[in-house]
Structures are given as C-alpha cells and as structure tokens.
Structure 1
Amino acid sequence: MYHSIRRSLLALLLTLPFAAASAASPIFDAHLHYRPAEAAHFGISDVARTLAANQVRSAIVMAPEDDLIRRLKAGSDTRIVPFLEVSQRLGKKMDWMHVEDLGDRVARMLDESNVKWRGLGEFHILADDRFAPGFEQLLDLAVARDLTIMIHGDPAVIDHAYATHPEVRILWAHAGSYAYPPLVQDYLERHPRMNMDLSMRNPRINPGGQIDDAWFELFLAHPDRFMIGVDTFTRTRWEQYTRLKDETRAWLEQLPEDVARAIAFENGERLFPAP
C-alpha cells in the first residue's frame, strides 16, 4: 500500500515544474580515471569533447602522473580536480597497502609534483586489510595534507578509518561495497565527514526506468552527501560516456529540482571549490 501511494505521488511530482531537472544542467563528475593505456587510444581532445558534450563543468580525475593532468587542464574547458592514483603504480590493485614505507613514498610523489593534487585514490581495500600499515600511513598523509581519500572498500574499512582518523575526509566510491539504502543511510549518519559517489549504481537506483523508493527517500533525506560519476576505468567506458551519463540523468530527472541539482553538481563544487 505504501509503495503504491509513493509511486503515485512520484508520478504527480514528475508533472510539476520543480521536479524536472534540466537535461542540460551542469555536471560534477566525481569518478573519472585517465591513465596512459586509455590516453593512447582516447586522447585529450576526445576527453575534452566528451566532457563538453555532456555539460561536465568540473570533474575529479584520478591519474598516476603529472603529465596527463597538465595536458587535460590545458586541453579541456572542464575544471579538473586531480587525485593522485598510486595503488597500481606502487604495487597492485589489491596489495598496495603492504608496500613498505608507502606513506613516505606517496609524500615524495606529492612533493616532487607540479600538480596541486586535491586527493588520493581510488584505493581498493577489503576488510581484512584495514589494519595494514600502508593504509594507516595514507590516512595520516591525507589528514596532514588536507587531502580527500577515495576508498573502494568494505564498511569495516570506513569504520576503522574514522576510529583512528576522525578528521579524515573520505569519498566512498560507488556508495560502498554493499550499496543498500539502509546501510548507506546508517553510514552517512555515523560518519558526517564522509561523502559518496554513485558511479556504477544506476541499475540499483533506477531499475526499469523508475527510481527505487528507498533510494528516492535516501536522496531526499541526505541531498548534500552524494555525487555522481561514470567511472571511466577502461577505454570502453570513455567511449560509452554519453550513454552512461544519460542513464544517470534519467533518475536525476525524477528528483525534486533542488535535490537533483545538489547531487548533479552543487555538492561536488562545494566540497572541491575552485582555487
């Protein structure tokens, strides 16, 4: 009965002007990767054209080297928020936290760089690795340098990070490893300095083209804690960018305009303001 009433109300909201987010509204993409392997086949001009065509005004771009960020900034009208991606540069995707003297090595990368990095990541980490010295060192570094750390990890990882470093700023990739609205809500309330990106979650949020009730209520309850993203971890994801962004816009358009605008770009630009 409740869901039937909710869906009827949603259908009514979608006929009202305040509930329709413009398809041309700007975007802050909170989850882009750009690595040499992708750059060799999807160049700077391709990235710039793709972002401009999708009204991406600002974007977090995770890259392993200065040159890619400098070239993106010079060749694109999109404001680039650079995150230093080091896990696969220093180790492997899932064992970076065991690299000896990880914190010192990343600190040297930051010191020797000509880029003003705004964050670190994305870091994949399972619950069993949350006590690894390398993870502790990166949390120390993030706090000391006022950097956001993007974590792709289990809930226990987030709890441990805030138990030891309550002041750290975390961007939890994909709304966590287990993106179920009750769990997401619990963690938003536990950790007020944590925000979430919603990349890879369109099928859960908008099954069958109608926004899920629980996600709808969650976005209304916490409109200031979410950002959207495409997660361009392969060349194919770059090539499919417009379709994937359109899938995101499809559920943003079902939210009240102020909530859609906050999630689409205002939260990102507030959390990562232009210098």
Structure 2
Amino acid sequence: MRAFLPIAAIALLFAGPPATRADEPLEIFDAHMHYNQEPNPFYPLDKVLELYRTNRITGVLATSRPNKGTHQLMEAAAAGKAPGLWVVPFIRPYRVRPDIQTWFNDPSIFELIREEYKRGYYRGIGEFHLYGKSADTEWVKKAVDFAVERNLFLHCHCDEEALLILFRHNAKARIVWAHTGFSTDPKRVGKLLDEHKGALWGELSYRSGITTGDGKLTGEWRALFAKHSDRFLLGSDTWINERWFSYAAIFKSYRGWLAQLPPDQAKRIASGNAVAIFGPRRTE
C-alpha cells in the first residue's frame, strides 16, 4: 500500500471501537503510542497486536519514528489482522531520533509532512517536541497552518510557552498536549482548558502527581476531572523498549485511579473522549 487505502477500508478504520459489554474490563484508547523502528521494531507486529488484545486496548493514536510503523498498523487493520482495533494515524515529523532536536528549523521535515499526508488517511501531526521559543519558527508555523487547513490535530510534547506560541501561530489549531505539561500544575491546566475550549486536550502519560503514594487520586486532580473529564486522554508512550515490557502495568495503574472516578467520567477519559475527538472524518 503506497498511496491510498480503498474507501471501504478507510471507513472501517475511522468507524471507532465497538461497544463495550457489561462483563468486559473498561476499554482504553491508547492516545500516545509509538511503534518505532530504528532500524527494526523491538516487538514484531503480531506481538504488539496481542498486547492490545490482552490489555483491552480498543484504539491507538499511532505515531512512529519513522512513519513505517504506523503504515504497518494501518495495513494490519485494513487487512483484518487487528479485529476490534481502531487505528488513528498521525504523521511523525521524525526520520531518526536526532530530528527531535532540529525538526522545527528543517524545511525537509515540512516536505516529509506533505509527502506523508498524501497517503490519505492521517488525522494529525505528531508527536513532536517543542520547548519555549523553539516553537516560534517559520517551519513550525507552516506545519501548524498545514494542519489547520486540512482539519488535522497536533500532538505536542511541549512546555506552556511553546503551547501558547502554537496557538498564536494559528488560533484554529487543535492540540493534544502530550503529558499535559509535566511541570504545569492542575489549576493552571484547568485554566488553559477553559481558555481553549474545543481546541486543547490533555494526554496523561508520564504525568506525575495524579495519585498519592498509595494510589489514591489527589484532590486537585479529582476536581480537575470532575470539571474537565471530557478533555483528557490516556497513553502508554512506548518510546523505549522498557515501556513495551511494562505495557500491562501502565494500564493497570490507569484503571486503578479510573475506578475511583464516577463511571461516566472514567469512561470518557478511558476511551469516550477519543471517539468524540477522532470520530469519522467529516467531508472537507
């Protein structure tokens, strides 16, 4: 598959995950998953798909370095090799790991984005890394405008300064904030969500402080979820092999604190928000 999937296959991929039976564990959409390949993936594709099945992962936001890993997931889904799995593909603007440090000033990366988009199935650009004023470049603005013009999301691992610069580049940008800022406290996160309704969502991989040492939700995060349970996603961030080894443990920990929330909030964060955000692409 080089250019476009058959229309019927694309429709199936964008249809979203199946309904959950009452006797099944809470389904989760993995909104920060890398199937990196430099030069070969650590896990073969069939093992990755088995991890999804055994951990009740019914959808993934696929972002890989290089994008070959995402191509393989899309091909597997189109061929019926991943029943029940919904793949939401994002263009990653990296060919090799060092691109993380330079992509925002590299015109060849913008060409990579343009070429990958021609495949016809991408829903966003990212995950990419930006800190401070590294976001304030011509090529980042071009990427943001490219995304807005094509109804694509941005998946950004960034600090607050870079996040706000992305919105200044184009007020119509829609951003999934990887790790929800790391150092940004919950009250400030809540204010940013209030200020960017319909444009900003938080993804919670590696986000410390959600629970106390004994696994209980903190009061601040419980209050944030009560107000904004429709604005958060969960992810594994399998950026290194160790994250694949601990894949089951990562989602066990998520289910632990999700179980402390009202069921409607837990379902939204686990997978409902992904369906609401990345549902079938509208006619453009």
Aligned residue in 2 for 1:219: 225
- Report the Cα distance in structure 1 between the residues aligned to 2:34 and 2:185, rounded to whole angstroms: 25
Query: 1:92-128: CA deviations, max 9, x gaps?
Result: 11210010254344212322x3x50111111101112
**Identity %, equivalent residues:** 27
Where structure 2 has 5 or more consecutive residues not aligned to the other structure, the ranges are: 1-21
- Report the Cα distance in structure 2 between the residues aligned to 1:98 and 1:22, rounded to whole angstroms: 50
> Mapping of 1:198-237 within 5 angstroms?
198-201=204-207, 203-208=208-213, 209-237=215-243
How big is the shift at 1:91?
5.8
- TM-score, normalised with respect to structure 1: 0.85
Count of residue pairs the alignment pairs up = 252
Aligned residue in 1 for 2:45: 44
Larger RCO: Structure 1 or Structure 2 (Cα < 8 Å, ≥ 6 residues apart)?
A: 1
Aligned residue in 2 for 1:262: 268
How big is the shift at 1:155?
0.7
Residue 34 of structure 2 is aligned to residue 29 of structure 1: no
Q: 1:33 to 1:40 in 2, by over 3 A?
A: closer
Aligned residue in 1 for 2:100: 93
> Mapping of 1:235-254 within 5 angstroms?
235-254=241-260
Output the amino acid matched with 1:151. Answer: C
Query: 1:205-264: CA deviations, max 9, x gaps?
Result: 112211111000000011110011111111221121001110111110111111011101
Query: 2:131, 2:162 within 8 Å by CA — same for their partners in 1?
Result: yes
Greater displacement, 207-216 / 90-99: 90-99
Q: 1:161 to 1:40 in 2, by over 3 A?
A: closer
Point out the structure with the larger helix share.
1
Q: 1:42 to 1:96 in 2, by over 3 A?
A: same
Where structure 1 has 5 or more consecutive residues not aligned to the other structure, the ranges are: 1-20
Query: 2:127, 2:155 within 8 Å by CA — same for their partners in 1?
Result: yes
How big is the shift at 1:89?
4.5
How big is the shift at 1:23?
7.6
Residue 158 of structure 2 is aligned to residue 153 of structure 1: yes
Query: 1:142, 1:168 within 8 Å by CA — same for their partners in 2?
Result: yes
Q: 1:90 to 1:229 in 2, by over 3 A?
A: closer
Output the amino acid matched with 1:269. Answer: V
Residue 203 of structure 2 is aligned to residue 197 of structure 1: yes
- TM-score, normalised with respect to structure 2: 0.83
Structure with max Cα Rg: 1
How big is the shift at 1:84?
1.2
Q: 1:211 to 1:23 in 2, by over 3 A?
A: farther
> Mapping of 1:99-138 within 5 angstroms?
99-100=106-107, 102-111=109-118, 113=119, 116-138=121-143
